[in-house]
Chain A
Amino acid sequence: MAHVSDFLTPADLQKISNLQVVARQVVEGFCSGMHRSPHKGFSVEFKQHRQYVPGDEIRHIDWRVFGRSDRFYIREYEEETNLRATILLDMSGSMNYGRNGLTKYHYATRLAASLAYLMIGQQDSVGMVTFDTKIRKYIPPRSRVSHLRVLIDELQRSEPGGETELGDVFHDLVPKLHRRGLLVILSDCFGDVPSLLKALAHFRHAHHEILIFQIWDRDELEFPFKQWTQFESLETAGVKHLLDPVLLREAYLENLEKFRAELLRGCRRHKIDLVPFVTDQPYAEALAAYISRRRTRG
């Protein structure tokens, strides 16, 4: 059954200021659109039968065993170990780009909220780290439903700005994440690629699974500017370049491709999933990517 959010673009959802509402819209829309509930698939696993004792719930009696043996047996399930996921949200200045009102940061916060909603709904533990040049906030993973409120409050409170150097921040972060888990990085990954890859390798060394949602704006991928333009840096004040973008476009796209290829190559080497996202793509695709990753891990 289709859900209303299937037809909502990120730009539409941007109008909803309450992140929790957004997250619920996205996730429930996404789940109801699937043929099989993810809940059935991995949250409860059959373990063994045991003899019925008074006080057990009748609905847990396995009637097929009763039919065969004429005795009451109860089906016992083993509760699955909680997934520990940590969302790493990039709050650097470059995430603040977006010409049509929806910035990459806004897209990332909504995506983070949706992911958190989905994960907590599946009894996974979700934590969150916001950072730019350094770690701004670290919220350890919890699986309580009330924890979602904490995460969303933090997302709504934070504002991007400043420079970024992912490599350094990630190195600093490794010791804080004691238990291995899934790291969901929401970032444009701008910066020095070798340094970033080194930091990611550090995470991998600590046995973390890594899923990177690389957030792009369409302008950054296509460089569609036609008239003379002064590009002013979102991260470093005072850095600006006046140029005819038409003359630079080809070289820019070439450089972009090189950057993306280098990053992708490094991620593959470290078995890291790199999923590029453009801010005009629906969030559901991000959730699908997460689910796919979750299944692989499970």
Chain B
Amino acid sequence: MSLPFGFINGALLAGAFALAIPIIIHLFHKSRFQIVKWGAMHLLEAVIRTNQRRIKIEQIILLIIRAAIPLILALCMARPVWKGVRKLMGETRTSTIILLDNSYSMAASRAGTSNISLAKDEAERILNEVPRGSDAQVVLMGEGGAPLLDEPTYDLARLTQSLKPLEATYGTATVPAGLDFAANVFGQMHESTRNLIVMTDFQRVSFEATEDAEVGQMLDRLHKLTIPPEVTFFDVGTEVKDNVAIESLDYSRLMVGIGQKIQIRANLRNFGDAPYQDLRVYFKADGKERSMAQIRLGPHEKGQVLFTHAFDTAGSHVVEIVADADPLKADNSYLASIPVRDKIPVLLVNGDPSAEPLKGETDFAEIALQPYSSTGRVALADLISTKVIRTENLDAKDINASAVVMLANVRQLDAGQLKALEDFVRNGGGLLIFPGNRVDASWANASLFKDGKGLLPLGYGALAGDLKEGAPSVGIVSQRFDHPALDLFNDPRNGTVSDAAIKMWYRMKEPASASANAPTIIARLTSGDPFLVEKQFGEGRVIQCAIPCDADWSNLPMRPFYLPMMQRLSIYLASTVFPPRNLEVSKPLVAFLPAGDAGKKASLSLPDGTAREVPVVKKGERGVIEYPKTQQPGLYTLTSPSGTATHFVVTPRDANRICKS
């Protein structure tokens, strides 16, 4: 049986025990009395006779008052509420939370009015009608709940004003998370009558999996609050029969150079029951429509559209795929930010140079990294530009001018070179290490590996295999690669790694037990030994290979996969230098700027058109911007202090899961 009253801060009721203090003091004083031999007893006795009853009553009243003070104080601090009051008083002040569904599906419209507009109108009407002196908050259900204002407010006009620019762009609504969030928000509110109004279109995604279990649990939690709110579900839904969504984009390249063609594949899905015979899909780059394709999509079918584009300037570009489909506009388009690099400088450190063609340690790698320049076909652009130097010429200047450094069969580095290399990787640079017959394994283990604290992901073990003619060779295990550098080979059309023949390789000392910071084995040899190992070092990454990058120990440079693998490894390592431009909501937006910009402020324009100033903080050898509040999906444009614009696209999670019952 529930009590007709409750306490908002029940724990403070413990303070009521302080009522014992005056009683104890009273008894203590009474027990420690003084004795006075008194002469004027006739005066005193007359007073006692006439006042005895009054004194006793006064004493009791005084004791009650003294005991009541801590009791009342504790009760007040515990903030009691009489739950029945709301039934008795129509104009009682209330604490109201409107849990507003701002998911994609709320963009559906009927007769020109979208669900979100209806919901906003209703929310405004409710806020206008709550009794004066009430506090309220709007919680947005999309992406697990986000408060519209930083905290509940009594300024309902401000809350209503904040509702106006709200659009339905926040992915799917999660009702249990929203209810959970609302339960927490009630903890910050002050009135004894509480209302929770859930405004949603009752979209299937929000309710289907959770209707019976989680929503029920959350409603139970709400009912168990000290002051349980009255929960009202408000259906603002317009049935959507047709819905086509662009689920995702795939790119043919990790990184794009000027003039390089990039293929962008849009994955579309028809969630509705109606077929689309000729669905028009547009490709826009930097706001301009570049091409259009048509696709046939049957009910509940998936389809793909491929667009090819080449950017003629370096810098940040935005592409957008738009499907001319249903009234649920929010998921009919997909934005992406594509950074176009001028060049990716890769420094090749040749540990075994040779005057003969293709005999030098880095000769094959150089060709693989800039195939067009190497073959004289200058009409086609290479994204990567290479520079080859001998080990003894390696210095900090060359290292810092590169995005990736490749050590090929390098015997040893001096202390200065090693330190420059460590600083480079720690600040976000990429390092690719290939061994060879010149490598001093014991030096590498002592100075590069350093028991796991150095640059080398794994220490070198013994050499395995035999280079003699006819000796058996091992291959690379062909598997499904999760690593972005090798996932290209999951598609057989891009070549296979399984036709490699490796005669000699370095075994690596794998740690006995896996730990959180343990290096990742990207690929293994058929002998079971690691082939490619990756390690995070500071903000940069290091990839270590078990064999050289030339043809001395294997036939790798002769295989078709060698070129894309080398390119992918380099571009992947270079990409760590550039933080991601396409983010999920709530992931921090990070940008690197020149160190000279540190201490200045950059301007960030948000999807809703507003702009924020973001400070540039010095980290290592560069300025860094971090903006964590990316709850709002859409295009963010960062303008650095020097005026360079960089685009970031924040995408809702699960944006494809839009469907309607």
Residues of A within 8 A of B (CB): 93-97, 99, 104, 188, 190-191, 217, 220, 225, 227-236, 239, 241-244, 247-248, 251-252, 255-256, 259
Shortest A135–chain B CB gap in Å is 21
Q: Assess the B39–A229 pair: CB atoms within 8 A.
A: no
A227 vs B46: C-alpha distance when bound (angstroms): 21
Report B-chain residues with C-beta under 8 Å of the C-beta of A236. 41
Q: Name the contact of B51 in the complex, choosing from A104, A188, A230, A251 (C-beta under 8 A).
A: A251
Shortest B23–chain A CB gap in Å is 15
B493 contacts the other chain (Cβ, under 8 Å)? Answer: no
Contacts known (A190-B40, A255-B43); A227 close to B59, Cβ less than 8 A? no
B393 contacts the other chain (Cβ, under 8 Å)? Answer: no
Report A-chain residues with C-beta under 8 Å of the C-beta of B44. 231, 241, 248, 252
Q: Assess the A234–B34 pair: CB atoms within 8 A.
A: no
Closest 4 CB pairs of A and B: A94-B39, A97-B39, A228-B33, A231-B38
A6 vs B48: C-alpha distance when bound (angstroms): 41
Chain B, Cβ-Cβ closest to A252 = B47
B42 contacts the other chain (Cβ, under 8 Å)? Answer: yes
Q: Name the contact of A227 in the complex, choosing from B29, B37, B50, B55 (C-beta under 8 A).
A: B29
Main secondary structure of the interface of A (DSSP, over half): mixed
Q: Assess the B34–A229 pair: CB atoms within 8 A.
A: yes
Highest count of chain A CB atoms <10 Å: which of B32, B44, B48, B59: B44
Q: Name the contact of B34 in the complex, choosing from A188, A228, A259 (C-beta under 8 A).
A: A228
A97 vs B44: C-alpha distance when bound (angstroms): 14
Q: Assess the B33–A230 pair: CB atoms within 8 A.
A: yes
The 19 listed contacts between A and B (C-beta, < 8 Å) are A94-B40, A96-B39, A99-B36, A190-B40, A190-B43, A227-B29, A227-B32, A227-B33, A228-B29, A230-B34, A230-B35, A232-B35, A232-B38, A233-B38, A234-B37, A243-B55, A247-B59, A248-B48, A256-B43
Report B-chain residues with C-beta under 8 Å of the C-beta of A259. 43
B289 contacts the other chain (Cβ, under 8 Å)? Answer: no
Chain A, Cβ-Cβ closest to B50 = A251
Q: Assess the B50–A234 pair: CB atoms within 8 A.
A: no
Shortest B62–chain A CB gap in Å is 8
A248 vs B49: C-alpha distance when bound (angstroms): 11
A96 vs B48: C-alpha distance when bound (angstroms): 22
Q: Assess the A228–B41 pair: CB atoms within 8 A.
A: no
Q: Name the contact of B40 in the complex, choosing from A188, A230, A241 (C-beta under 8 A).
A: A188
Q: Assess the A220–B39 pair: CB atoms within 8 A.
A: yes
Report A-chain residues with C-beta under 8 Å of the C-beta of B377. none
Q: Assess the A255–B33 pair: CB atoms within 8 A.
A: no
Q: Assess the A234–B43 pair: CB atoms within 8 A.
A: no
Chain B, Cβ-Cβ closest to A254 = B47
Report A-chain residues with C-beta under 8 Å of the C-beta of B539. none
A251 vs B33: C-alpha distance when bound (angstroms): 21
Q: Assess the A231–B36 pair: CB atoms within 8 A.
A: yes
A227 vs B44: C-alpha distance when bound (angstroms): 16
Contacts known (A248-B47, A251-B51); A227 close to B34, Cβ less than 8 A? yes
Report B-chain residues with C-beta under 8 Å of the C-beta of A230. 33-36
B158 contacts the other chain (Cβ, under 8 Å)? Answer: no
Q: Name the contact of A220 in the complex, choosing from B32, B40, B47 (C-beta under 8 A).
A: B40
A88 vs B227: C-alpha distance when bound (angstroms): 81
Shortest B55–chain A CB gap in Å is 5
B30 contacts the other chain (Cβ, under 8 Å)? Answer: yes
Chain A, Cβ-Cβ closest to B31 = A228
B58 contacts the other chain (Cβ, under 8 Å)? Answer: yes
B45 contacts the other chain (Cβ, under 8 Å)? Answer: yes
Chain B, Cβ-Cβ closest to A239 = B41
A255 vs B50: C-alpha distance when bound (angstroms): 11
9 further A-B pairs in the complex, CB-CB below 8 A; given A97-B38, A248-B51? A190-B40, A227-B34, A231-B38, A232-B37, A232-B38, A234-B38, A234-B39, A248-B48, A252-B47
